[in-house]
Amino acid sequence: MLSTTNCERHAIIFGLETVGRLLDGIDAATLANTYVIFMGDNGTSGQIVIAPFRRGRAKGSVYEGGIRVPLIVSGPGVVDGAVTDALVDSADMFATILELGGADVSGALPEDLIHDSVSFVPYLSAPDRPSLREWIYSDEMSPDDELQNGNFAIRGERFKLVRRSGDDELYDLVADPFERNNLLEGTPTEDARARYMSLASRLEALHASENR
């Protein structure tokens, strides 16, 4: 979770206490057979975010301070206290909830329906398994914006490409989780150029598919 001010901490505590009261109202037998999914919707507001996050890279941006949020799941078969490093997107809620409800995702949807939701159910019992996703994507733009005016991010397990109004930045999120060192500045290494080209081609293919 992002660093917060006292006011925001109180809001978070109040929210968690409310969830706690809700769960306390469910009998033990029912709760033991119930999945609870708790997810943040965005990062902390730039007006109150504090170091190491920065105002221009918080809520409303495609930097980690704006799009990386908590995701907590409990329920039958979920490994208690485990953490996974797998890539998960909010779009994955769709396939995940279908599967948890006992539906066959492929059989429950029309054959011509295209979606990019990937169930994260396998991680609940095996959090160390390899990521089912190769990449995740985020954007920040209004419905009427042209693609060249938007802000976008696409990342794999380690590297992330940020495109802001046509200007590209590349970050190593393992070595540089707060996105301070743009690997495209100066003279990029051969490895940085290769990582960039891979992510850029994926981003451009995704945007091309949106225009069809």
Strand ordering across the sheet containing 136-140: 136-140, 151-155, 159-164, 167-172
**What does the alpha-carbon distance between residue 119 and residue 98 come to, in Å, rounded to a whole number?**
8
Give the chain's domain count. Answer: 1
CATH number of domain containing 186? 3.30.1120.10
Any domain includes 12: no
Amino acid 2: pLDDT: 39
pLDDT over 50 at 1, yes or no: no
Using alpha carbons, select from 163, 112, 118, 114 the residue that is nearest to residue 136.
118
Pairing of strands 71-74, 136-140: unpaired
- 169 inside domain: yes
159: nearest Cα among 131, 118, 201, 198: 198
The two tokens of residue 57 are 């890279």
* Structural domain contains residue 58: no
Residues 61-118 have pLDDT tens digits of 999 999 999 899 999 999 999 999 999 999 999 999 999 999 888 777 788 887 889 9
Q: Is the peptide bond before 70 cis (omega within 30 degrees of 0)?
A: no
Domain assignment of residue 32, yes or no? no
CA distance between the termini of the chain: 37
Residue 75: left if φ>0, alpha if ψ -120 to 50, beta else—which one?
left
Under 8 Å between Cβ of 4 and 48: yes
Residue 20 inside a domain? The answer is no
DSSP designation for 131: P
Token pair, residue 176, equals: 């540089």
In a domain, 102, yes or no: no
Q: Is residue 158 part of a domain?
A: yes
Task: Determine the pLDDT at residue 73.
Answer: 95
Cα dihedral angle (75, 78, 81, 82), rounded to 10 degrees? -150
42 in a domain, yes or no? no
What is the domain range of residue 171? 134-212
Pairwise CA distance, residues 99 & 110, whole Å: 16
196 pLDDT higher than 80: yes
pTM: 0.84
Q: How confident is the model at residue 4 (pLDDT cuts 50, 70, 90)?
A: very low
CB 96 within 8 A of CB 124: no
Give the whole-angstrom CA distance, residue 165 versus residue 137. Answer: 16
